[in-house]
Amino acid sequence: MLERDVLVVGAGPAGLAASIEAAKAGADVLLVDLNMKPGGQLFKQIHKFFGSSAHRSGTRGFDIGLKLLEEAKEAGVEIWLQSTVVGAFPGNLIAIEKGVDGGAKEVITLKSKKVIIATGASENVVRFKGWTTPGVMGAGAAQTMINVNHVKPGKKIVMVGSGNVGLIVSYQLMQAGCDVVALIEAAPKIGGYAVHAAKIRRAGVPIYTKHTVVEAIPGEDGTVCKVVIAQVDDHFNPIPGTEETIEADTVTIGAGLKPATDMVKLEKCQLTFNGPFGGFIPLHNDKMETSKSGVYVAGDATGVEEANTALEEGKIAGISAVESLGLISPKEAEKRRIEIWDRLEALRMGPFGERRQQEKDNILKEYEEKIGTAVEMD
């Protein structure tokens, strides 16, 4: 049977960082990802990152991705693409389905001493009449099309949601040559950074706050051709008589993300609900270990944040995994974890970050109270 020291699931920033740390310490690491390419969402992030120089501010997401892939290669991380975890069984056994849809697929059983789950997040949806019509999609889906596949999702775009995703992707859609005809926000205020909002306002995109999408109307070909928006009252209900019809072939929804916890559930790790982090998340301690001994988590799967926090959490998970394998001393591991938690604290500052720091502290506390020490469950 195939055996590895560490299995890492998800090759985004968290999974790559975890793999690199573990492999550098001498562990046999297998990193799996269901996509055609590694890097997670980094390769669609063509904007320069904010933050301090320690966190590569001013660097574009895809350059960070390239650097990580290089480091992973140097460290000897084995990467399987188009590979999905489909089962977890007693005795540290993991079933991985390998292969492309329509082609020959095989299910491989792996015995892995440690598992690091870095499965990221999935996009939230806003439902309105016609939301399943082709042409209505996630803002992230549109971003993948333009920045990774270099194909426009459509010509005239209505963006729903003015958080940072909605704002940044609107700008990037314009950079790709699309026409963003409206940005819709149900709240009375723009959700994301003013600097991003200013950029798209300067480019002439009308921003409709206190508005929602009422309907996406398909044309003869069955795809979106018109979008009806309306003002909302204080309870976010559309106000009759305020409808406006916009000519557009695409609606992109940037309504936030929720942690992807399927694998965490498969491993029967204990979850907790956390609104600010996007929904149900696995309880974890300061080693990023879940309620199940030897199973670690990192990145958006532990609560939706951003690439830099994912990277740092990934490093902690990697370090903790090799510590428990006896590849580095507990003293060394603890020293490095403290350094990383300090950097994470620096990332979780400011109007958007403070709340996340508070919630992270609460989660660590909840872990202490409910679990204390991770238990062997098999």
Partner 1 sequence: MCLRVDEHCILDVENKAPLVEISVDGNTIKAHEGEPILAALLSNGIKVNRYTVKKHEPRGLFCGIGQCSDCSMVVDGKANVRTCITPVKAGMVIKTQDGLK
Give the residues lining the site for partner 1 (CB under 8 A). Answer: 34-36, 46, 60, 82, 100-102, 122-123, 132-138, 140-142, 144-147, 149-155, 175-177, 218, 221-223, 260
CB of 66 to partner 1, least distance (A): 13
CB of 325 to partner 1, least distance (A): 31
CA 263 to each of CA 143, 193, 297, 303, 355: distance values in angstroms, whole numbers, following the listed order: 25, 32, 10, 14, 26
CB of 249 to partner 1, least distance (A): 8
Which tokens is 216 given? 């996406």
Query: Given CA atoms 348, 354, 356, 361 in this order, what sign does their dihedral have?
Result: positive
Residues forming beta bridges with residue 328, ordered by sequence position: none
Amino acid code (one letter) for 111 = K
Neighbours of 67 (CB within 10 A): 14
Amino acid code (one letter) for 115 = V
Q: Which residues of 183-207 are buried (b: 16+ CB within 10 A; e: fewer)?
A: bbbbeeebbbbeebbebbeeeebeb
- Alpha carbons 71 and 69: distance in angstroms, whole number: 5
Nearer to partner 1, 35 or 362 (CB): 35
Query: Given CA atoms 139, 142, 146, 149 in this order, what sign does their dihedral have?
Result: positive
Nearer to partner 1, 155 or 265 (CB): 155
CB of 106 to partner 1, least distance (A): 16
- Alpha carbons 130 and 217: distance in angstroms, whole number: 6
DSSP annotation of 238: B
Nearer to partner 1, 92 or 172 (CB): 172
CB of 247 to partner 1, least distance (A): 15
Nearer to partner 1, 154 or 192 (CB): 154
- Alpha carbons 80 and 264: distance in angstroms, whole number: 20
Nearer to partner 1, 121 or 325 (CB): 121
Backbone φ/ψ region at 161: left (φ over 0), alpha (ψ -120 to 50), beta: left
Nearer to partner 1, 105 or 335 (CB): 105
CB 18 within 8 A of CB 118: yes
DSSP annotation of 169: H
CB of 150 to partner 1, least distance (A): 4
Nearer to partner 1, 35 or 357 (CB): 35
Backbone phi and psi for residue 364, each to the nearest 5 degrees, phi listed first? -60, -40
Count of positions (residues) in the chain: 378
Backbone phi and psi for residue 241, each to the nearest 5 degrees, phi listed first? 95, -10
- Alpha carbons 320 and 309: distance in angstroms, whole number: 17
CB of 41 to partner 1, least distance (A): 8
Nearer to partner 1, 21 or 300 (CB): 300
CB of 306 to partner 1, least distance (A): 17
CB of 32 to partner 1, least distance (A): 13
Nearer to partner 1, 143 or 162 (CB): 143
CA 45 to each of CA 62, 63, 151: distance values in angstroms, whole numbers, following the listed order: 6, 9, 15
